[in-house]
Amino acid sequence: MTLNDLQTTARCTVARVTAGGMLGQRLCDLGFCPGVRVLFVRRAPLRDPVHVQIGSYHVALRGEEARQIEVESVQSVKA
């Protein structure tokens, strides 16, 4: 499952980043590294971009970028 497949308020753990090159490095620099916990906050009305929270900061990712982040341990969180 990828980050782009999640629903609003889902919590997950990053399993791996499949992007290589500069995009892979950028995602890692933003904090998307294996083992990091992520909260899926919301999706834009046209499904792109997605808004996620890592620790205390928020990140908006294009759907194309979110599909490069594989996640596991998905849990739904009540709003």
Per-residue confidence (pLDDT) for residue 33, from 0 to 100: 93
Of all residues in the chain, what percent are helix, strand and coil, respectively (each to 5)? 20, 45, 35
Q: Are the C-beta atoms of residues 1 and 68 closer than 8 Å to each other? A: no
**Sequence-distant (≥ 6) Cβ neighbours of residue 28 within 8 angstroms:** 17
Predicted TM-score (pTM) of the model is 0.88
pLDDT one digit per residue (tens) for the chain, 79 residues: 999 999 888 999 999 999 999 999 999 999 999 999 999 999 999 889 999 999 999 999 999 999 999 999 777 665 5
Three-state SS at 32: coil
Q: What is the CA radius of gyration of the chain?
A: 11
Identify the structural domains of the chain with CATH numbers, from first to last: 3-76 (2.30.30.90)
Per-residue confidence (pLDDT) for residue 76, from 0 to 100: 66
